[in-house]
Amino acid sequence: MLVAIVGRPNVGKSTLFNRLTESQLAIVHDEPGVTRDRVYGEIIWNGRTIPVVDTGGYVPHSSERFEAAIREQVDIAMEDADVILYVGDVTTGITDIDQEMADKLRKDDTPVLVVANKADNDERRWAASEFYEMGIGEVFPVSATNGIGTGELLDALVDTLPEEEEEEDELEDRTSIAIIGKPNVGKSSIVNAVLGYDRSIVTEVAGTTRDAIHSLVNYEGREIALVDTAGLRKRAKVKENIEFYSTLRTERSIREGDVCVLMIDATDGLQNQDINVLKLAEKHKKGMVIAVNKWDLVEKDTKTAKRYEDYFHKILQTLDYVPIVFTSALTRQRVYKVIDTALEVADERAKRIQTSRLNDVLREAVANHHPPTYRGGNYVEIKYVTQVRENPPVFVFFTNHPKGIKESYKRYLERQFREAFGFKGVPLTLVFKQK
The number of beta carbons lying within 10 Å of the beta carbon of residue 139 is: 21
Give Rg (Cα) of the chain: 25
End-to-end CA distance of the chain: 39
In this prediction, residue 206 carries a pLDDT of 43
Q: Are residues 185 and 331 in the same domain?
A: yes
* Residue 377 is labelled as binding a ligand: no
* Residue 80 is labelled as binding a ligand: no
Contact 244, 73 (CB under 8 A): yes
What is the domain-level CATH number for residue 181? 3.40.50.300
* Tally of domains in the chain: 3
* Residue 293 is labelled as binding a ligand: yes
Amino acid, single-letter form, for residue 286: K
Q: Are residues 336 and 189 in the same domain?
A: yes
Q: Tell me how far the alpha carbon of residue 230 is from its chain's centroid.
A: 14
Q: Are residues 326 and 207 in the same domain?
A: yes
Q: Are residues 226 and 173 in the same domain?
A: yes
* Residue 93 is labelled as binding a ligand: no
* Residue 383 is labelled as binding a ligand: no
* Residue 54 is labelled as binding a ligand: yes
* Residue 74 is labelled as binding a ligand: no
Phi, psi of 30 (to 5 degrees): -70, -20
* Residue 119 is labelled as binding a ligand: yes
In this prediction, residue 26 carries a pLDDT of 44
91 lies in which domain range?
Answer: 3-160
Q: Are residues 35 and 135 in the same domain?
A: yes
* Residue 115 is labelled as binding a ligand: no
Sign of CA dihedral 248, 249, 254, 256: positive
Q: Are residues 102 and 187 in the same domain?
A: no
* Residue 8 is labelled as binding a ligand: yes
Contact 101, 7 (CB under 8 A): yes
In this prediction, residue 148 carries a pLDDT of 93
Domain boundary among the residues 160, 179, 201 is at 160
What is the domain-level CATH number for residue 381? 3.30.300.20
Domain boundary among the residues 286, 319, 349 is at 349
* Residue 47 is labelled as binding a ligand: no
* Residue 295 is labelled as binding a ligand: yes
Q: What is the pLDDT of residues 275-311, one digit of tens each?
A: 888 888 998 899 999 999 989 888 888 888 898 888 8
* Residue 11 is labelled as binding a ligand: yes
**C-alpha to C-alpha distances, 199 to 56, 179, 188, 189, 231, nearest whole angstrom:** 35, 14, 8, 9, 15
* Residue 259 is labelled as binding a ligand: no
In this prediction, residue 39 carries a pLDDT of 65
Q: Are residues 134 and 173 in the same domain?
A: no
* Residue 321 is labelled as binding a ligand: no
* Residue 286 is labelled as binding a ligand: no
Q: Are residues 244 and 327 in the same domain?
A: yes
Contact 329, 189 (CB under 8 A): yes
In this prediction, residue 24 carries a pLDDT of 53
* Residue 120 is labelled as binding a ligand: yes
Q: Are residues 283 and 177 in the same domain?
A: yes
* Residue 184 is labelled as binding a ligand: yes
* Residue 279 is labelled as binding a ligand: no
Q: Are residues 177 and 316 in the same domain?
A: yes
* Residue 422 is labelled as binding a ligand: no
The number of beta carbons lying within 10 Å of the beta carbon of residue 410 is: 16
Q: Tell me how far the alpha carbon of residue 225 is from its chain's centroid.
A: 18
Contact 307, 281 (CB under 8 A): no
In this prediction, residue 297 carries a pLDDT of 87
Average pLDDT of the chain to the nearest whole number: 82
Closest to 157 (Cα-Cα) out of 79, 225, 83, 219: 83
* Residue 228 is labelled as binding a ligand: yes
Residues whose CB falls within 8 Å of the CB of residue 302, separated by 6 or more in sequence, listed in order? none
Q: Which one-letter DSSP state was computed for residue 183?
A: T
* Residue 183 is labelled as binding a ligand: yes
* Residue 10 is labelled as binding a ligand: yes
In this prediction, residue 195 carries a pLDDT of 72
In this prediction, residue 164 carries a pLDDT of 66
* Residue 182 is labelled as binding a ligand: yes
* Residue 185 is labelled as binding a ligand: yes
In this prediction, residue 70 carries a pLDDT of 60
The number of beta carbons lying within 10 Å of the beta carbon of residue 23 is: 12
* Residue 181 is labelled as binding a ligand: yes
Q: What is the pLDDT of residues 55-69, one digit of tens each?
A: 776 666 655 555 565
Amino acid, single-letter form, for residue 284: H
Length of the chain: 435
Sign of CA dihedral 356, 359, 365, 368: negative
* Residue 276 is labelled as binding a ligand: no
Which portions of the chain are predicted below pLDDT 50? 25-37, 166-171, 199-211, 231-242
